[in-house]
Amino acid sequence: MDCLAPEVPQNAELALPELDLSEPPLGSDRRAFMMRSALATAIVALTGRPLVAFAQSPAIDPVVNVGVDPNLDVVRRSKGPVMTLIDEFYKVGPGPSSSHTIGPMRITYDFYQRASKLPAAQLDQATALRVNLFGSLSATGKGHGTERAALAGLIGMEPATTDPAFLDGLAADPTQTFKVKLGSKEIPVSLADVIYDETKGDFHHPNTMRVALLAGDKPLLEQEYYSVGGGFIEWEGYVPPKKNPPKYPYSTMAEALAHAERDNLTLAQLMMANETAISGRSEAEINAFLDKIIGAMRATVKTGLEAPTAVLPGPIKLKTKAGDVYKNALKQESPARRGIGVVSAAALAGSEENARGHLVITAPTGGSAGVMPAIVYSLGPDGAKVSDEKIREALLAAGLVGYLCKHNATLSAAEGGCQAEIGVASAMGAAALGQAHDTSNLVMANGAGAALEHHLGMTCDPVAGFVQIPCIERCAFGAVKAWTGFLMAQNEIPANRRVDLDTVIEAMALTAKEMNSKYKETSEGGMAVSLVLC
């Protein structure tokens, strides 16, 4: 008899083990977990003998690099009222990523300013500058041009005023050397001084950088920084600047809606009241800034639509198509099909400009930089012909939604996948459309919630680390979903909506926490693995 065969009485029935209905451990591969469980159960059923290790050893959580240091201000701030300001949120800078391009440039520019203030005796000892990139910045930074952005900041350039041609020149000739003047000392720097370091480790944030001014091997000044999403940055020991209290303190959409209902305000009016109270600036100053953002959004769409079909930078060899989609959309006889085509083309245009490394607007991020410009374009002279005043109000309402997502979840794909970028941008777009069309505050909130809900779980898996596939087309879908969310909310009975925005944001935060790190802007899973580049 086979030594593995059990001795079972004739006609006896095998006792099947009870089903294990527990959830797989956090971060595990669900399909592999189920296959292993099924195989083990089959062995038990066929042999009649239990697998001791399988029966008695509880599953443990795998090590998944999803942690964010609770001491970071971006985390601590979630425990109080929203204090973000509109000029902190909408930023102009070079693409293709707010966290991997604009953030690193802001970081090295900040370090450059700090170093320039050192005593002359220390600066006289300086011999070199060094930048180390960690985590997601190291894993996908080459596709985002992180090293070029970091070098630009190190030599004194700021995102909003950097000529993209300078970054293109670095890509064309990576051997260039520049002189950084610190006091009377000139220190040579090049791309070789930006080091792609460890991708895995116990970092305070997935987007960690360390910048140092050196005297030989001895650090004269060293600082650890974090690019926390949407172009926002922090550093070790960061203390946020003191701000005035908001007129209407809120940390949830429910609280904002309650304030607005009590004082008979629109969400845009509530936002303006808080902006003036916190910043101390006038409404005219805030409107002037919003006009600049509207102009920049229109410009990025116009430039992208007018650009000839070409191949985007990088190994994917992806051809642009915004212009083709736009021209063919205009030929559609059906207004609905024409409208969807034009919105999609505008989003593609903004996202292709981002992929080129040209100047874009974080709304909320570089990876989602096609969504809100497409919404603004669809509301303007070439679309719904809404006044600029209404579009300013739309940007304020959109900002409120973005603030809440930042406050209670994340805007960083390295923390939460693409749901935190395209999903948030789509939610912002739905709220903007509601405000521009003078709908009720509840319709705006419902539209934003619907748009975000149907991006939950979206992974960030950029092919080859470049913000092209699937990022560019996702902007088009995000813009169309913003319209879908708005129209659904406008045409339903608002009070009947079962899922509110706050619940969806909480779900996004939970999903972000539990999402496998392969799908958090590391190019280690999903489309980044399945698409083979020849």
Between 79 and 506, whose confidence is greater? 506
Above 70 in pLDDT, residue 106? Answer: yes
Q: For the chain, what's the residue count?
A: 534
Is residue 169 within 8 A of residue 176, CB to CB? The reply is yes
Chain segment 271-299, per-residue pLDDT in tens: 999 999 999 999 999 999 999 999 999 99
0.85 surpassed by pTM: no
What is the Cα–Cα distance from 313 to 310, expressed in whole angstroms? 10
Percent of the chain scoring above 90 in pLDDT: 82
What is the Cα–Cα distance from 412 to 410, expressed in whole angstroms? 6
pLDDT, position 59: 44
Is residue 348 within 8 A of residue 370, CB to CB? The reply is yes
Is residue 82 within 8 A of residue 252, CB to CB? The reply is no
Between 501 and 70, whose confidence is greater? 501
pLDDT, position 68: 60
| SS3 call for 521 | coil
What is the Cα–Cα distance from 527 to 525, expressed in whole angstroms? 6
Chain segment 349-388, per-residue pLDDT in tens: 999 999 999 999 999 999 999 999 999 999 999 999 999 9
Local structure of residue 29 (DSSP, 8 states): -
pLDDT, position 25: 53
pLDDT, position 77: 55
Above 50 in pLDDT, residue 1? Answer: no
Between 256 and 50, whose confidence is greater? 256
Chain segment 460-476, per-residue pLDDT in tens: 999 999 999 999 999 99
Could you please report the per-residue DSSP string of 146-205? HHHHHHHHHTT--GGG--HHHHHHHHH-TT-EEEEEETTEEEEEEGGGEEE--SSS--SS
pLDDT, position 313: 93
pLDDT band per the 50, 70, 90 thresholds, residue 437: very high
Above 60 in pLDDT, residue 239? Answer: yes
Chain segment 123-160, per-residue pLDDT in tens: 999 999 999 999 999 999 999 999 999 999 999 999 99
Above 90 in pLDDT, residue 32? Answer: no
Above 70 in pLDDT, residue 453? Answer: yes
Between 205 and 76, whose confidence is greater? 205
pLDDT, position 534: 72
pLDDT band per the 50, 70, 90 thresholds, residue 73: low
Could you please report the per-residue DSSP string of 216-285? TTEEEEEEEEEEEETTEEEETT--PPP-PPPSS--SSHHHHHHHHHHHT--HHHHHHHHHHHHH---HHH
Chain segment 379-426, per-residue pLDDT in tens: 999 999 999 999 999 999 999 999 999 999 999 999 999 999 999 999
- Give the per-residue SS3 of 298-340: HHHHHHHHHCCCCECCCCCCCECCHHHHHHHHHCCCCHHHHHH
What is the Cα–Cα distance from 148 to 194, expressed in whole angstroms? 9
